[in-house]
Structure 1
Amino acid sequence: MISSLNNVILNRKKMNRARLQDQLSQWNGNDTKVLSNLYSEIERFEPNTFLGLLPEFSRAITWLIKHHIEQGYALSESDTASLFAASKTCSDWQAQLHLLQIAVLINCRPELLDMIRDTIQAGLKSERPFLRAWAFEAEFLRVQFQQSELKKLALKIESILPLEKASVKAKLRKISEKIKNLKS
């Protein structure tokens, strides 16, 4: 299914897979304005269409999918499952961050989050504060209906809170508040 979607004409300028790959290969890896412009050129954005470009362009593809969601579009459960399955080979930390952000933005079901459990666990241990913060949020979504796991998460947050940077502390406090609200 993914390979047939990859051959779909993506926009008015007939942005086929080869043209898209060419544009992504010229991207410097940092300037999201370039990706935003590329996104706006695509007439009908289908997240599944881009999955064949993972892992080579994982940072760009995950950013484009996250941007699509931030524009108010939904990501179907099957697209989410396909994304999470295809992303198992993504080792780029920014691609992992985008996956975690996507999971939180769409309020992903715990069963789907189990597909990226390794990404979540790696994020929880990451040296990168922003990645760590989003990993905690995704982990909360993953375990929110499992009392024993939720309790472990609450204890972990409580133990590391004093050691965290301010940006991570703020997110951890919000998660702690959500946990308390679930218990009441």
Structure 2
Amino acid sequence: MATVDDLRNELTDYDGRDPSVLSEIAARHEDQPWFLSSLADLAPDEEAVVSEGATWIIKAMVEKGHDFMPQDVERLVVGLDEVTAWQAQLHICQSLVHMSVPQEVEPILKQWLNPLLDAPRPFVRAWATDALCRLCDKHSDRWNVLEQMSEDKAASVRSRVRNLMTEFGER
């Protein structure tokens, strides 16, 4: 059985551009019970390509319908402060729509997402808005986020906001 260190070594082959290496890693290991758990452990890796690669695979896996166990989602959320590469932040924000976030770590996740609403990269802002809106319990909280982000200078953010407003019936 492969270990987290073995998987980390595989992820270092990722050049930050061509995801075919990541697709091959996912295909090789996706049926292994340790795989998603190990990716959660590697998401906050200090080496950017490892973090970006792990989160890219997480996103691909959850989009294909693979379920993260609640304890893996919890470990992923608890380690988010260490996720500094913008691509990894984006992958996580885009993945959250497919994950069930344990209630006990929702405040940690919201605290991580809020500063991303001002991130330099528009796609990070757009998908942080998406993730934060999905965590809002109250209509007024969601509306405040959408209203704030509807004024963003980037068309991609405003487009995401319009889609969310339609989805949540805010307009």
TM superposition score normalised by structure 2: 0.82
C-alpha contact 1:75 1:106 (8 A) present in aligned 2: yes
2:23 matched to 1:33? Answer: no
Residue of 96, 100, 110 corresponding to 2:93: 100
Q: What is the CA-CA distance between 1:182 and the residue it aligns to?
A: 6.1
Q: What is the CA-CA distance between 1:157 and the residue it aligns to?
A: 3.3
C-alpha contact 1:113 1:138 (8 A) present in aligned 2: no
**Which has the higher Rg, Structure 1 or Structure 2?**
1
Structure 1 169/41 Cα, relative in aligned 2: closer, same or farther at 3 Å? same
- Counterpart for residue 164 of structure 1: 154
- Other structure's SS at 1:30 match: coil
RMSD across aligned C-alpha pairs, in angstroms? 2.4
- Counterpart for residue 32 of structure 2: 44
Q: What is the CA-CA distance between 1:169 and the residue it aligns to?
A: 2.3
Residue of 158, 164, 170 corresponding to 1:175: 164
Structure 1 176/109 Cα, relative in aligned 2: closer, same or farther at 3 Å? farther
- Counterpart for residue 9 of structure 2: 22
C-alpha contact 1:109 1:141 (8 A) present in aligned 2: no
Residue of 91, 109, 120 corresponding to 1:116: 109
Q: What is the CA-CA distance between 1:86 and the residue it aligns to?
A: 2.2
- Counterpart for residue 55 of structure 1: 45
Residue of 137, 144, 162 corresponding to 1:152: 144
Gap regions ≥5 residues in structure 1: 1-8, 10-14
TM superposition score normalised by structure 1: 0.77
C-alpha contact 1:157 1:176 (8 A) present in aligned 2: no
Structure 1 140/51 Cα, relative in aligned 2: closer, same or farther at 3 Å? closer
Q: What is the CA-CA distance between 1:122 and the residue it aligns to?
A: 2.3
- Number of paired residues? 165
Q: Name the CA distance, whole Å, in 1 between partners of 2:10 and 2:143.
A: 46
Aligned residues with identical type, % of pairs: 24
Structure 1 146/26 Cα, relative in aligned 2: closer, same or farther at 3 Å? same
Q: Name the CA distance, whole Å, in 2 between partners of 1:177 and 1:135.
A: 17
Q: Name the CA distance, whole Å, in 1 between partners of 2:154 and 2:107.
A: 26
Structure 1 111/149 Cα, relative in aligned 2: closer, same or farther at 3 Å? farther
- Counterpart for residue 64 of structure 2: 71
